[in-house]
Amino acid sequence: MIRVYALCTGYIELDRASMVSDLTPGQPWTVPVTSFLVDHPRGRLARLGLTPVDVRYVANSHLHFDHCGGNEFFPRATFFVQRPELEAARRPGFVPSYSPSPIDFDHPLDYRMIDGEHDVFGDGSVVLLPTYGHTPGHQSLLIRAGKNAQIVCASDACYTRENMDRDVLPKVLWNPSVMRDSLAALRKLRDQAGATMFYGHDPVQWEATPRAPAPVI
Ligand SMILES: [Zn+2]
């Protein structure tokens, strides 16, 4: 039995136009930083009665500070990161406009670089999806928690529902055409495959999301 929990790991204040680039600048917005805990029989991400050393796997969507800044607190976990993401992060300046801070990710941890789609448990229940573009190796997470229960954690491949509905990219990105392709793939999962989409920093959606310790599903 798989359970999924939504957690808020902080808030960021920014200009709404930085997230939806065709809006008029000057509209301050407070957005949540969301994390999802997947409780799988063969590996758990949970704070519900567990401590960080109980966490077996962590999937970093990418290595911006708000998505990996707590990695060091999970010393026993294996960290899944897409290869182009970690390689770019470890060579500052190698990829223009992408230099995540080493203090956030560069710790002696068990990083496992993956190439594209990756089925974490080999049973199709938790699958990492390459959604490059926001950063060189951004990834999203697909969870199949039952016959008709598909959840996609888009992370920063799509900040808010508005980005997906109107096909508008944010200002913070690495490659706009690659990001647009990733956004289209996610939209297809939502609109054609019927997946429930969780956006990376959507305050409106977060208001309506059941929070841990209540499960999302
Ligand atoms: Zn980001």
Residue 57 C-alpha to ligand 1 middle, in angstroms?
20
| CB-CB neighbours of 35 under 10 Å | 21
Residue 134 C-alpha to ligand 1 middle, in angstroms?
7
pLDDT of residue 93: 81
Looking at the DSSP assignment, which residues form a beta bridge with residue 36?
6
pLDDT of residue 43: 63
pLDDT of residue 213: 85
Residue 12 C-alpha to ligand 1 middle, in angstroms?
12
Please give, one letter per residue, the 3-state secondary structure of 51-116.
CHHHCCEEECCCCCHHHHCCHHHCCCCEEEEEHHHHHHHCCCCCCCCCCCCHHHHCCCCEEEEECC
Residue 54 C-alpha to ligand 1 middle, in angstroms?
26
Residue 72 C-alpha to ligand 1 middle, in angstroms?
18
pLDDT of residue 98: 87
pLDDT in tens, the chain (217 residues): 788 999 998 999 999 999 999 999 999 999 999 999 888 877 665 556 778 888 899 999 999 999 999 999 999 999 999 999 999 999 988 887 788 999 999 999 999 999 999 999 999 999 999 999 999 999 999 999 887 789 999 999 999 999 999 999 999 999 999 999 999 999 999 999 999 999 999 999 999 999 888 988 8
Q: How far is CA 39 from the centre of its chain?
A: 17
Quick: pLDDT tens for 1-51.
788 999 998 999 999 999 999 999 999 999 999 999 888 877 665 556 778
Query: Sign of torsion, CA 97 98 100 102?
Result: negative
Residue 63 C-alpha to ligand 1 middle, in angstroms?
7
pLDDT of residue 148: 77
Distances (CA, A) of 143 to 96, 160, 216: 32, 19, 12
pLDDT of residue 163: 98
Residue 5 C-alpha to ligand 1 middle, in angstroms?
21
Cα separation of 22 and 171, whole Å?
A: 9
Cα separation of 166 and 121, whole Å?
A: 35
Tokens of 94: 């190698």
pLDDT of residue 48: 63
Among 123, 125, 113, CA closest to 39:
125
Contacts of 90 (CB under 8 A, 6+ apart): 106
Among 77, 143, 78, 80, CA closest to 116:
80
Residue 150 C-alpha to ligand 1 middle, in angstroms?
23
pLDDT of residue 51: 80
Q: How far is CA 76 from the centre of its chain?
A: 21
Residue 193 C-alpha to ligand 1 middle, in angstroms?
26
